[in-house]
Structures are given as C-alpha cells and as structure tokens.
Amino acid sequence: MLSFYKNLAKLTRNTSKLVGKKGTDLPGKVLRKLDKNILVKLAKQFDEIVFVTGTNGKTTTSNLIGHTLKKAGINFVNNFEGANMLDGIISTFAVQSNNNTKLAIIEIDEGSIKRVMEYITPTRFVINNFFRDQIDRFGEIDTLIATIGEQLEGKDVQLILNSDDPFVTRLAKYGKNNIYFGISKDAYKFSDYGISESKFCPNCGTELTYSYIHYSQLGYYKCSNCGFSRPNPDYTVTYAELKPFISLSINNEDSFSTRLAGDYNIYNILAAYTLLNILGIKKEKIKKGLGSYTSKNGRMQSIEITSKTTALLNLAKNPAGLNASLAIGKTIDTRINYLLILNDNGADGFDISWIWDTDFNILASQNINNIICSGKRAKELALRLKYSEVYANIVVLENIKEAVARLKKYSEKYSIVIPNYTALIETQKELEN
C-alpha cells in the first residue's frame, strides 16, 4: 500500500508541474485525504530525521546541509524547495524516499512544528534563532517558543542550539545530550542592525546582562538573579571575514571559504557544519560541500540581469532579516541600486507594521543612486523611507514586472533586491528573464 501512495504522490507532482505549478504541496494534500496518518507510515523506515528551524536562515541552513550530503554521496531526503509545512513535508517523504533511504533533513516552519509533531518526532532538531515574524500567524515570540517547548517535552530529541540566542537556549531543558554552536566575541563585528528583541530572562523575567552583543538579542548574556546564561558552545566560529563572501574558521582549526555573502549567513554555515559533524561526515567533505554551495532560491542569490549588472536577491520578511539584507550594501564600494518589494498576502502576514521597526538608516552611509519600491504595499515602503536618513531617488512601481524592468535600465554594477515571501518567486522570475 505504501508503494501505491508513493507512486500516486509522484504522479500528482508530475501532473502539477505540467500545468505550471511547483507540485511541492499537492501530493501531500492528496495523500492526507486518503490516509490521515500517512506521514507516520512514510517516516517509519527512517533511522534519522533531522528538523531544521528558526525565524531566519532555516532554508539556507537546510540547503547547505543537503548540498554537502549530496556531494558526500549520502542517500537522504530533503525539502530543498522550501515546502516546510505539513503537506510539503509529506510530499518530500513520499516523492523522494526509497527503501534504502534512512536519513531525512527537514526544514520546518516554526508555526507548523505542533501540527507536524502530532505525527512524527525528529531524532535531532537544529534551532538557529527566533525573531518577531508574522505576528498575526505566530503570535509573540514567547507564545511560539512555549508551543514548541510543549511539543518537545517528554520526547527523546537531541537539540542543536544557537548558544548566542537566549530565545533558543530556553528550549534546552526539553532536549537530550544538547549540542551548542556560537560565535566568539572577537571573531567578527556584525553590522549594527538597530533592532533589539526582548532581553529578559525566560526563567524569572529579570533583564539579562550582556557582556557582548553580536546583534539584536544574540550575544553573551547572563541573568544576575537566577543564573540563566549563554552555554559554552561545542562549535565556535573563532574568525570570520566578508570580501564580500564569507571565509571563516571554526574551533581555531577548520578554516574554509564559501560563496555566500551576508554576515548573518555565518550562523547558517556554522549550524550546518555542526549538524554535519554530529552525523559523522568527514571534515574535508563538510568543508568542500559548504564551500561550494551557491543559492538558487532567492536567499542571497546572485543573478546577472544585464551584461554589466548583477542583482543580489535576498528574501526578508521581518525586521531582523530586512536589516541584515540592507547591511549587505555596506560591503559594496561602488554606487548601487535597491529594489524593495512588500506584499501583504496571507502567507506574508497582513500586518506590515514591522517595517517601522526596521532600521532603514543603515542605508544612510551607502552609495545609493535609486531605490525602487514595489509590491502591494509599495507606497508604505516609500513613506517609511521618507522618515529615514536615506538620500536617493525613490521610485514607486507597485507592479513587480514594471519595477524589475526599470531596475534593468540602470547602469550600476550591483543592485540589491529584497522581496518578502509571496513576492519572491515573481521577482526571481522577472530578474532571470
């Protein structure tokens, strides 16, 4: 019967693709209609199921892991296309697995953890960070973390946690044989993203004391009242630089260069490195895999849009993510352009007030010619820019196709393109045309 379900899933996916759809979720929807416990049955053959989550960077981290495993010749399944909710995860197991597949690397949407864990429990769980994101979907961070903790309680799950984020390490009590990763104080000076999440102790509510901050709430923290503090990481970035791509050293011994820009990706690379080491992949294979990865999914993706112009495309859907994307311009010496796209569709979250928590003054020191605002809420973006210290020609073109066409007329060598969630695919398509 399971073979029938897998064949049906593949047929459904192929049919969906023939009519121009991605086919990432539909197979899961169909199978779940036929058998509500299909995910339980599909997952039984796996010895190792790894979940990867976090507000920012889960797709990049998951894809870094998947790319490296593929280069190492490991048989596994991975929802590399980013279908990270229940139906997409069912589709991944049904379409990709065979009888010899024993390892699954599953990116999972934070808000879908409760629903997915009704059916399967991971053996390991990589958690990178938590920031405010789509408040009308997830609620505040405390609510989200409490819900995740409820799913982990009493389960035999090894947690791989970002030691620098107190929101993440508050989940440590639910894990078994936890492993931590972090960045040392003197390894790299992050850009000042200007956003500060809550910095209060999750145990007693006392304001945390920081001896060092990388950015936002990530850093070296301690509660003077109850002793809650940053755990010592097992895997530490001891040196990193961007020119504009990341080179780094881990635990003062493993040094390698990557093809990823954006300093926030230091954490994503470290999270992937940590998990791959835990899985027993040889270090040389890990460095070779992480060093050769290039994005094709709109996460710091480089696209040549004319013979002389390159667009750096990067998804951003919350203040921390957008601040990090805006800071990329600081690594470029020549004059640049920006295309910012903001939608408010259901998958984005209808509340766009988060753009007022974003520090657009990051752009003040950059050498910018033009900023195009696009998407359904382009006018709000333009208004927000007018309240910041940005001196550039601001253009409003709500239609994404028209906005990209205008961008392609500019002659600057680099343009930074930052769409939010539902704007990403259309923007990517227009840039590549």
Catalytic residues, which ones? 351
What ranges make up the beta strands (E) of 254-309? 254-261, 299-304
Residues composing the chain: 433
Distance CA 31, CA 106 (A): 18
- Residue 91 tokens read as 């589709």
Distance CA 279, CA 216 (A): 31
Strand partners, 299: 314
Which DSSP category does 108 fall into? -
Whether 373 has a binding-site annotation, put simply, is no
Selection from 221, 146, 208 nearest residue 182 by Cα: 221
What ranges make up the beta strands (E) of 216-334? 218-222, 235-242, 245-250, 254-261, 299-304, 310-314
Distance CA 121, CA 113 (A): 10
With beta carbons less than 8 A apart as the criterion, state whether 292 and 259 touch. Answer: yes
Distance CA 389, CA 290 (A): 37
The SS3 assignment for 313 reads strand
Count other Cβ atoms within 10 Å, centred on residue 409. Answer: 9
- Residue 20 tokens read as 């121009």
- Residue 391 tokens read as 């001196």
Whether 226 has a binding-site annotation, put simply, is yes
Cα distance between the two ends of the chain? 43
What ranges make up the beta strands (E) of 184-253? 209-215, 218-222, 235-242, 245-250
Distance CA 430, CA 302 (A): 14
Distance CA 402, CA 399 (A): 5
Query: Among positive and negative, which fits the CA dihedral 338, 342, 348, 354?
Result: positive
The SS3 assignment for 112 reads helix
- H helix intervals, 37-85: 38-43, 58-71
With beta carbons less than 8 A apart as the criterion, state whether 11 and 18 touch. Answer: no
Which DSSP category does 81 fall into? T
- Return binding residues for Zn(2+): 201, 204, 223, 226
Binding residues, by number, are 201, 204, 223, 226
